[in-house]
Amino acid sequence: MTYTPNRREVILSATGAAALGLAGTLTFLPSALADTAREQGYHKYKIGDIECVSLYDGIWKKKHADNFIRNATLEQTKAALKAGGLSDEYIPIEFAQTFIKTGGKTVLIDAGTGGQLAPTAGMMMKHMAAAGLDGASVDTVLISHFHPDHIFGLMAKDTNAQVFPNAEIIVPETEYKFWTDPALIEKLPDNRKGLGKRIQATFPNWKNVTQVSGEKDVAPGIRSLPAFGHTPGHTAYHISSGDKQLIVAGDIANVPALFVVNPTWQAVFDSDPETATKNRIALFDRVIADGAVVAGYHFGFPNAGTVTKDGNGYVFAPFGA
C-alpha cells in the first residue's frame, strides 16, 4: 500500500513562529497511524515494487540539558516541542529501523540499540518477528554510522557475538576508518572511549564487513548517499523503484519538531555541526525536488513520510497525516 499524506494543519500564529526563529508558519501534522503503528511495532509500505517495513525499536526520554542544542536555548527547545504537539518534559528520541525486500534480497538499514541503551528501547527483533520477518534471513545490513543506537543491535551485550553472522554488513569507509584508527581512543572524550574500544574489538575481526565509499550500489535498487557531518562518515541510503524514491536518512536530523522545523539548529551529537547543517538542508531540498519519501531514524513512528518547505525550515508529514 502506498500512502499519500493529507495536510491536516495546525498553524501557529506569526508571533509563535517568530519566537522560534522562523520567517514563515509552523505546521504540525499529526499521524493517525502513530499509536497503532507503535503498538504493533511495525508499519509496512511500498516504494514502487519494493516492500518496506518501518520497525519500532523504542524510545529514549532524554532529560533536558542546556547544551543539547548548541545554538538554541532550553526555552526555545521546549517551545518547539510543544509547537510540534509533543511533551516538553523531555526530548523524545525514538528509534526506528527500515527493513527492505528488493530483488530477492532482504536488507536491514541500521541495527537498533540491541536493548543496550535506554530500558524502553531494544524491541526491533521482537517487532521484526511480529511483522512476519525472519532476522536469520537478513542478507545485508546497511549501517549509516557507528553511534551505539545504530550498531549495538549487531552484537550481543556480554559477548559481542554477531547477531547477524550470515549477513553482509556494509559500512561507510570513512566512518570505519575513523573509528578503527588505533590512535583514536586517546583522542575521544571519556564518555566515548568505551564505544571506540568496542568497535575496535569487533568490526576489524568480523569477516563479513564490507566498506563502501561515495555513491555506490549496495543492493538491488539501493545506493549509498554520503551525508557527512553528524559523524565523519554518516551515510544515507537512496532506494528507487520505477519513478518512486525513498531516502533513508539516518541521523541527518533528529526530532522533526526540533531539527526539521529548524534545520540550522545544531545537536550536541553532531561531530561537525557546520557540515551537518549544510548536508541536512541539501538532503531535504533533494527530497522535495525529487518528490521522494524520507525515513528518519529518530523521526518518531511511523518514521517515514514527506518533507515540504515552510518558511526558513521544513515540515515532516508522516504517513497517515
Helix, strand, or coil (residue 5): coil
Task: Report the chain's mean pLDDT, rounded to a whole number.
Answer: 91
Query: What percentage of the chain has pLDDT greater than the value 70?
Result: 91
Q: How much is the average pLDDT of 285-291?
A: 98
Band (pLDDT 50/70/90 cuts) for residue 321 is confident
* DSSP character at residue 232: T
Please name the amino acid found at residue 28.
Answer: F
Fold of 10-318: Metallo-beta-lactamase; Chain A (3.60.15)
- DSSP character string of 237-279: EEEEETTEEEEE-TTSSSSHHHHTTSTT--BTT-SSHHHHHHH
The Cα–Cα gap between 70 and 270 comes to 10
222 exposed, middle or buried (CB, 10 Å; 0-12, 13-18, 19+)? buried
The Cα–Cα gap between 274 and 279 comes to 9
The Cα–Cα gap between 127 and 115 comes to 13
* 250, pLDDT greater than 60: yes
pTM score, two decimals? Answer: 0.91
Instruction: Report which of 314, 315, 253, 245 is spatially closest to residue 279, judged by C-alpha positions.
Output: 253
> What is the pLDDT at residue 203?
98
Q: Which long-range contacts (CB under 8 A, 24 or more apart) does 212-219 make?
A: 212/170, 212/171, 212/172, 212/173, 213/172, 213/173, 213/174, 218/140, 218/142, 218/170, 219/100, 219/102, 219/103, 219/105, 219/107, 219/139, 219/140, 219/142
pLDDT in tens, 153-201: 999 999 999 999 999 999 999 999 999 999 999 999 999 999 999 999 9
Residues 6+ apart with CB under 8 A from 94: 56, 57, 58, 59, 60, 298, 299, 300, 301, 303
What are the residues facing 105 on neighbouring strands? 102
Band (pLDDT 50/70/90 cuts) for residue 28 is low
CA distances, 127 to each of 58, 114, 134, 275, 314 (Å): 10, 12, 10, 34, 30
> What is the pLDDT at residue 218?
98
> What is the pLDDT at residue 29?
75
Other beta carbons less than 10 A from residue 191's beta carbon: 7
- DSSP character string of 80-139: HHHHTT--SSSEEEEEEEEEEEETTEEEEES---TTSS-TTB--HHHHHHHTT--GGG--
| Residue 280 in grid coordinates | 541536512
Q: How much is the average pLDDT of 132-148?
A: 97
Question: Which residue carries 518547505 as its cell?
Answer: 309
